[in-house]
């Protein structure tokens, strides 16, 4: 039995996915499994994994039944079975060092851990100004208008327990909106939530799959959902 399932959505990742898996293996002090969630059979990521003989009981391929990162993550959540679930990005080498701390908080009884770029100790490094502006503005709206008491609900990097997985039915479909839905529904279910600082470092010269303008309406939907639910409390 694995203590932790790490869900990594991928899209034509390069050889760095191999480095990431090796660094996760070196950095995490618990038995864990990685679920590589992909859309198409011709995704280049799969070839790198197979060439390096990394596909096994500890690195499992999960094919998305729909399309896009949000549904890939939800597909991974559906296929998870461990005590703890972590959603992690394929280009994030910065935050491996805080995963053990996050697990320790889970062992203390927290249900959901929110790594935050926007609390003391957190940072967003190297993002294009428009991306950082929209991300920060969205987070402020969620905090002050929707009244979720957390500073970074849209960061896809999240850890939660099996109880949360079993009791939340995900409805989000686009972008990384599962993250806001996860925090909102966990908050309304009175789960124990902890926000900790994290650093997001933009990878230079990497083509981003973040379609911010296309996805904004879907984030607005969950912002309004949260505002209405909070208003009726």
**CA 86, CA 23: separation in Å to the nearest integer?**
16
210: pLDDT strictly greater than 60: no
CB atoms within 10 A of CB 208: 12
What is the Cα–Cα distance from 150 to 229, expressed in whole angstroms? 16
CA dist., res. 94 & res. 171, Å (int): 30
Which residues span the domain enclosing 149? 4-231
Task: Report CA torsion sign: 44, 48, 53, 55.
Answer: negative
Question: Residue 191 to residues 110, 165, 179: CA-CA distances in angstroms?
Answer: 8, 12, 15
10 touches 40 (CB < 8 A): no
How many other CB atoms are there within 10 angstroms of residue 75's CB atom?
21
Contact 85, 147 (CB under 8 A): no
Q: Yes or no: say if 27 and 99 are a contact pair by the CB < 8 Å rule.
A: yes
Can you give the pLDDT at residue 212? 63
| Radius of gyration for the chain, computed over Cα atoms and rounded to the nearest angstrom | 17
CATH classification at residue 171: 3.90.550.10
- DSSP-assigned states of every residue in 129-149: HHHHHHHHHHHHHHHHTS--S
Distance CA 77, CA 74 (A): 5
Tally the domains of the chain.
1
Q: Phi-psi category of 6—alpha, beta or left, where left has phi over 0 and alpha has psi -120 to 50?
A: beta
Q: How confident is the model at residue 203 (pLDDT cuts 50, 70, 90)?
A: confident
* Residue 68 Ramachandran class (φ > 0 left, ψ -120 to 50 alpha, else beta): left
On whether the CB atoms of residues 141 and 127 are closer than 8 A, the answer is: no
Give pLDDT tens digits for 8-36: 999 999 999 999 999 999 999 999 999 99
Closest C-alpha among 154, 94, 102 to residue 126? 94
Number of other CB atoms surrounding residue 210 within 10 Å:
16
Q: What is the pLDDT of residues 83-118, one digit of tens each?
A: 999 999 999 999 999 999 999 999 999 999 999 999
Residue 158 and residue 191: Cα distance in Å, rounded? 14
pTM of the model: 0.94
pLDDT in tens, 32-85: 999 999 999 999 999 999 999 999 999 999 999 999 999 999 999 999 999 999
3-state secondary structure of 43: coil
């Amino acid at each position: 039995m694995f203590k932790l399932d790490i869900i990594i959505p991928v899209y034509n990742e390069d050889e760095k996915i191999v480095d990431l898996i090796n660094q996760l293996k070196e950095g995490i002090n618990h038995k864990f499994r990685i679920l590589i969630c992909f859309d198409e059979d011709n995704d280049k990521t799969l070839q790198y994994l197979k060439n390096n003989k990394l596909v096994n009981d500890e690195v499992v391929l999960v094919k998305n039944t729909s399309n896009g990162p949000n549904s890939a993550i939800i597909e991974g959540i559906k296929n998870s079975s461990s005590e703890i679930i972590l959603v992690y990005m394929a280009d994030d080498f910065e935050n491996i060092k805080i995963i053990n701390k996050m697990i320790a908080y889970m062992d203390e009884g927290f249900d959901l851990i929110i790594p935050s770029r926007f609390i003391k100790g957190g940072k967003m490094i190297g993002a294009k100004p428009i991306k950082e502006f929209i991300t920060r503005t969205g987070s402020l709206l969620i905090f002050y208008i929707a009244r979720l008491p957390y500073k970074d609900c849209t960061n896809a990097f999240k850890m939660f327990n099996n109880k949360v997985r079993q009791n939340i039915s995900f409805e989000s479909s686009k972008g990384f909106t599962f993250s806001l839905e996860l925090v909102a529904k966990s908050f309304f279910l009175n789960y124990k939530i902890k926000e900790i600082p994290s650093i997001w470092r933009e990878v230079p010269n990497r083509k981003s799959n973040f379609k911010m303008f296309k996805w904004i309406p879907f984030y607005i939907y969950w912002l309004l959902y949260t505002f209405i639910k909070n208003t009726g409390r």
